[in-house]
Structure 1
Amino acid sequence: MTSSTRAPRLRGGRPDAAAAEELGLTVHDVARDLRRDVADVRLPLPIDGADEASASRDRLLAQLDEHLLPRLAELSSPAVVVVAGSTGAGKSTLYNSLLGEEVSQAGVLRPTTREPVLAFNPADEDVIAEGPITELSRVIRHDGVPRGTALLDAPDLDSFVQENRSIAQQLLEGADLWLFVTTASRYGDALPWQALARATERGASVAMVLNRVPQADLTTIRGDLMTRLRSHGMTDTPLFVVPDVGPHEGLLDEAVVRQIKRWLNMLAGPDRSRAVVVRTLKGSLAALPGWVTSLADAVEAQAESATTLRRTVEAERPAAEKLARDAVAAGVVAGASVEARWRELSGTARIDRVKIRGDRARSSRRAGRARSEALEVLRDDVEAAAQRTLTASGARVEERLRAVLDGPAAPAGGRYAAPETDGRAEARSRAVGRAVASWVAGSDERVAALLGPDAGAPARAAAKSFGERGLATLLLAAAAGSDDAGRLLARVLGDVATAPVASLRDDLADRAAAMVGAEIDAVLERLDSPDLADDAATALRLRLAELRRLT
């Protein structure tokens, strides 16, 4: 008997001819495609069942990565038998006793198994395939391992070291057969049955070792455990009982583990070990449709919830846009700040003291330039008032959307789509600045149109009295709701002022509605994801159909 800690030469590749004949290359291709599509699944909406589905997806990926794909790629590699269990179950001692040599650390310190150990017969060196198990383990050759099998000692499933627990789960996912070790005092704990349920769920082959059983209680305990196995649908699970030998160090007596060693030798040999591999593979493949169905259902539930959320959000658009337009149309944009500025300018710059003779204003160009300069502060005030109005329109609908999507009566998953508290403020500020700047520029364009080749005498006189920029400011103020500005324009322009003022007011109303639309679209954009599309589960459904044809 020999052992070595020197890593062996490993190889991998596509399935060999004999294995391909038994399972077919198609299975590997389907599993590979399934892995890709499962990895692409995202479940962003926090709806009922999403967390469970995400955990199931992660487990399915682990099963594909750790077991199915590596095993399908190298079916001729020895069947991996993992010795697993909870802390203090004595699995490392059992493992060493099966090999007849202490190759895995065992003792009173916990966790005792800090490094996984994978042992294989030296005659199998050429067919050992590189994969997740070999990468995680210390790989050794050992004559005590029956040909066609590889024995793996895994860390404790309940180790207080998180890394050990994670590695143990990975190794379990990658094994062909689980040899689960528990004790007479702990077989009723939750952990053994959780682990066995996990194995059954993925179709793994399982055997069980009941360790340290007092001779006096052997019949009772064995009978109770067999009853529990039957109740969990595990009637055919091999059960080995190891009697309690009392305090001891080192290996168990050969007679104590003889039954388990005989069973392992029955599994040995290329043909018989392949039967174990194929049985577990078929069990795993048979379990896949149920997993994929549940995952596809979860993806479709996400899409259905997203559709409901989109409808909920869109339902807010008409009323919110109308409210924004009505606020502008009502002429409330100017507000107290513009009115106060007008009174100031009326007293200091005598803005409204323009003489009218006949149908036109009378003023010198010098006085017009003075009025235009004085009106700059009014332009600033109108611009600021318009910015406040558009900002308020956006903020109001954001608040409404947050209440609808994250309130007590919110649809499922609404919190995901609800506006973030600070997420939109900066973007809204930039958008409002651009919108108001464009609106203000529109007033200059309308003055230019008034003063075109066909301009009448009243328009040219008004431009002389206030300057073109000053006249544009008056149009802005009137459109924003300043009655004083509107009356002055009526005096100097007559009915000609009506159209540009109305046009500017409509333009501002459109921009306010656009701010509302931008807030709603920002929410819809979060829902406009391939993960939430109506056909998001199509790829999984296709893989499911392929799996059902194979199984």
Structure 2
Amino acid sequence: MDLNSFLPLLQESAENFERLRRWIGRLVEEGALTQSEVESLDLDPTPSADDLFDAPIRPLVVAFFGGTGVGKSTLLNRLAGEEIAQTGIERPTSREATLYLPAQGKFKLPPGLPLSKIKTVFHHNLKHEIAWIDLPDIDSIELTNRELVFLLLPYIDVLIYVVSPERYRDLAAWGVLKERSQAAAWLFVMNHWDEACEEQIEDFKGLLKTLGFNDPIVLRCDSRPDFRARKPDDFGQLEEILRDFARTRGTEQLAWKRAQRRFLQLTDQIAALTETLEKKSKGVSHLRSRWRELWKKTVEEVSPLLAGSAAISARQIAAQGLSANWNPVLWDTWTQKHLLDALDRLALEADQPAICRELAAYRDELLKEIERQVRLGLQQSLAAPGHWLQRHLARALSVLKYLLPILLSGLAGYQLVLGYFREVYLGIDFAVHSALIIGVSGLIPHLACRLLEPSLEKAAFRGILRGLRLGFAHVETEVEQRLERVRSRLAELALEGRQLTGVVGDAARRPLLLSPPQGQPASPLLDRMLAATSGKGSLEIGTRYGGEFP
């Protein structure tokens, strides 16, 4: 296969897959989604028919699929031109897969395929453009047959579904197979055409249309050994289709069709994950209001107990003073647990790994943050105790209790000197009254200053309460900020998911532009050989009616 024109698309595909891997890695690493939520996105390389051959140019891989007794091996022998596959009820291929490969091809069996269940036959007379696979009967009671078919499906280019006039309606097994291989190219052969009629062909086409084939290729074949007795059929057209498919780079087109289908599937999966991220992002806004309710209720429940603990601590500080290594003992085990339970309840209601991770990281800091705010509030309160008016009055009275006695003493001395020069005797009454007024002028401001002096215990109590309020407010704000960070990351990842949806979707809708070799046109039948829908509804109908379409 000449992949020169296909390499840019493969390179772009690899780049998109690498970008997807990084995005999914961030989803799990940052806790936006769990590992189980992203497991549906399979970015590993899918096996293909290229893995069967160790050469840049390989043959077309065609497999025969169908029920027991429909003539798969007989049709294979006719296509090969000689008896290379055993026929009959107990043929070996009923329980194993047989690969009929050109002898000149460099074949390799990929790891993971059961060697004991796969028989390889090299033949010199086979058409070199095509490698055949005779699959085991899918309708056998042997469950290993179906498992083997499913293992080989990714390595097949074209599946020839062989039916007979008696069993062409038995499509339940085919529906299961089609569900597992949406990107395969399909050809349908009504074998034993000598026993069928045209109405059965039309009926078969109608059933295939319900399964997603808008214009299925249904061919008639009469593979009886006596070629002179054969009824005119479409065997020559079957050979020409396979030959043209191999010659017109049908394998390249099929590979890109498979990539397109995988891109479309990834687009839907990425869009679903993006919607989940957007829903979680919107849910964080509700969690912020829910957190405010939880924290407000928690603070109201623990406040009475904390007020009692604050009063005890204030008395200790008033008696012993505030040391540099003082640690507030404000809460017992129940109070601590109650405060931390608010975070745990929020994490439980959120049920998001990213939020749980953020809250778990802050859980050990919650009590420490409240303690820091209590220490800060206590230091500020003790540095400036009491009300500002109380402090200013006390400062003024502390000055007056010295200033007034001095002024009054100066006035009494002035009167004494003035009386001396005037030769006036002031008497005992003057001395007693002067002493009393001087004493009272100092005593009253002193007593008032003592009364207005702030209480160290009250200041400490108010400081602790203020620190608690600040600590509670800081915890509430910090949790909201952490929730907002989670919401921002979810929104950012969702935006990147939307961008990836567009990139992968554009890649899936892009046509494959090939320059056909030697002027050969691209295969015009490929679209007819691919199913347009998943066929789930038809499968349900077939199951409902016992595995046969009505």
| TM class by smaller structure | 0.5 to 0.7
**Counterpart in 2 of 1:303?**
274
Q: Which amino acid aligns with 1:543?
A: A
How far 1:82 sits from its partner (Å)? 0.8
Say whether residues 1:392 and 2:341 are aligned partners: yes
Where does 1:259-298 land on structure 2 (aligned, <5 Å)? Answer: 272=244, 274-275=246-247, 278-282=249-253, 285=256, 289=260, 292-293=263-264, 295-298=266-269
Structure 1 contact 211–241 (Cα < 8 Å) conserved: yes
**CA-CA distance at 1:289 after TM superposition:** 4.5
Q: Structure 1 pair 86/523, CA: closer, same or farther in 2 (3 Å)?
A: farther
- Deviations, residues 104-130 of structure 1 (Å, cap 9, x unaligned): 79755999333x2221232x33xx464
Q: Which residue of 1 aligns with 2:94?
A: 112
- Report the counterpart of residue 177 of structure 1 in structure 2: 158
- The residue type paired with residue 179 of structure 1 is I
Q: Tell me whether 1:534 sits opposite 2:498 in the alignment.
A: yes
Which AA in structure 2 matches 1:382?
Answer: W
The reply to whether residue 498 of structure 1 matches residue 469 of structure 2 is no
**Contact 2:102-2:124 at 8 Å conserved across structures:** yes
- CA RMSD, Structure 1 to Structure 2 (Å): 5.7
Where 1:316 maps in the other structure, the secondary structure is helix
Using the alignment, how far apart are the partners of 2:9 and 2:56 within structure 1? 12
Match of 1:333 among 268, 284, 302: 302
Paired AA for residue 437 in structure 1: K
Residue 169 of structure 1: how far off its partner (Å): 3.5
The residue aligned with 1:435 is 366
Following the alignment from structure 1 to structure 2, what is the Cα–Cα distance between the partners of residues 222 and 133?
A: 40
Structure-1-length-normalised TM-score:
0.58
The 5 Å alignment of 1:401-440 reads 401=349, 418-419=351-352, 424=356, 431-440=362-371
1:187 aligns with 2:168: yes
Aligned to 1:508: 472
Long gaps (5+) in structure 1: 1-14, 46-50, 244-251, 355-359, 370-374, 403-417, 457-489
> Aligned to 1:152, what secondary structure does the other structure show?
strand
Task: Summarize the Cα distance change of 1:524–1:293 in structure 2 as closer, same or farther, 3 Å threshold.
Answer: same
2: distance between equivalents of 1:257 and 1:61? 48
Question: Residues 334 and 382 of structure 1 are in contact (CA less than 8 Å); yes or no, is this contact kept in structure 2?
Answer: no
State the partner residue of 2:427: none
1:65 aligns with 2:47: yes
1:139 aligns with 2:113: no
- Based on CA coordinates, which of the two structures has the bigger radius of gyration? 2
Q: Secondary structure at the match of 1:185?
A: coil
> What fraction of aligned residue pairs are identical, expressed as a percent?
16
Relative distance call for 1:522 and 1:241 in structure 2 (3 A) is: farther
What secondary structure sits across from 2:127 in the alignment? Answer: coil
Give the aligned residue type for 1:185: E
Q: Distance in 2 between matches of 1:531 and 1:154?
A: 46
Q: Distance in 2 between matches of 1:133 and 1:222?
A: 40
The verdict on how the C-alpha distance between 1:121 and 1:266 changes in structure 2, with shifts beyond 3 A counting, is: farther
1:345-383 Cα offsets, whole Å, 9 max, x none, are: 89xxxx96x9xxxxx96x6x6xx89xxxxx99xx65615
Give yes or no for contact 1:98–1:144 (8 Å, CA) kept in 2: no
Q: Is the 8 A contact 1:117 1:138 kept in 2?
A: yes
1:78 equivalent in alignment to 2:59: yes
Residues 519, 33 of structure 1: CA spacing in aligned structure 2 closer, same or farther, 3 A cutoff? closer
Taking a change above 3 Å as real, the CA distance of residues 540 and 27 of structure 1, as seen in their structure-2 partners, is: closer
Distance of 1:237 and 1:303 partners within structure 2: 42
Counterparts of 1:27 and 1:394, CA distance in 2: 50
Match of 2:204 in 1: 225
Q: Which residue type is aligned with residue 535 of structure 1? A: Q
Separation in 1 of the partners of 2:511 and 2:22? 18
Task: Work out the CA distance in 1 between the residues paired with 2:461 and 2:306.
Answer: 23
1:316 corresponds in structure 2 to 287
In structure 2, what residue type is equivalent to 1:436? Answer: L
User: How much does 1:152 deviate?
Assistant: 0.9
CA distance in 1, matches of 2:282, 2:165: 59
Asked whether the 8 Å contact 2:347–2:359 carries over to 1, the reply is no
1:463 is matched with none
Give the conservation status (yes or no) of the 8 Å contact 1:37–1:540: no
1:430 Cα deviation after fit: 7.2
TM-score (norm 2): 0.58
**Structure 1 residue 180, shift from structure 2 partner:** 1.4
C-alpha distance in 2 between matches for 1:192 and 1:218: 24
Cα distance change of structure 1 residues 242 and 219 upon mapping to structure 2, 3 Å threshold: farther
| Structure 2 counterpart of 1:470 | none
The 1:31–1:144 alpha-carbon spacing in structure 2 relative to 1, beyond 3 Å, is farther
Structure 1: which amino acid aligns with 2:190? L
* Amino acid paired to 1:311: K
Output the CA distance in 2 between the equivalents of 1:141 and 1:72.
13
State the aligned residue count: 434
Secondary structure of 2:469's counterpart equals: helix
SS of the equivalent of 1:508 reads: helix
Q: Is the 8 A contact 1:398 1:519 kept in 2?
A: no
Deviation string for 1:508-546 (max 9, x for gaps)? Answer: 332245346657766886777579733232441453465
Instruction: Give 1:382's match in structure 2, choosing from 316, 319, 331.
Output: 331
Gap change, CA 1:233 and 1:504, over 3 Å in 2? closer
Q: CA deviation at 1:187?
A: 1.4
Contact 1:304 / 1:534 at 8 angstroms: preserved in 2? no
Residue 507 to residue 198, structure 1, CA distance change in 2 (3 Å): closer
Amino acid at match of 1:182: V
Is the contact made by 2:221 and 2:235 (CA closer than 8 Å) also made in structure 1?
A: no
How far the C-alpha of 1:26 sits from its partner, in A, is: 3.8
How far is 1:98 from its partner? 5.9
Q: Distance in 2 between matches of 1:203 and 1:530?
A: 33
Q: Report if the CA contact (8 A) 1:157-1:165 is conserved.
A: yes
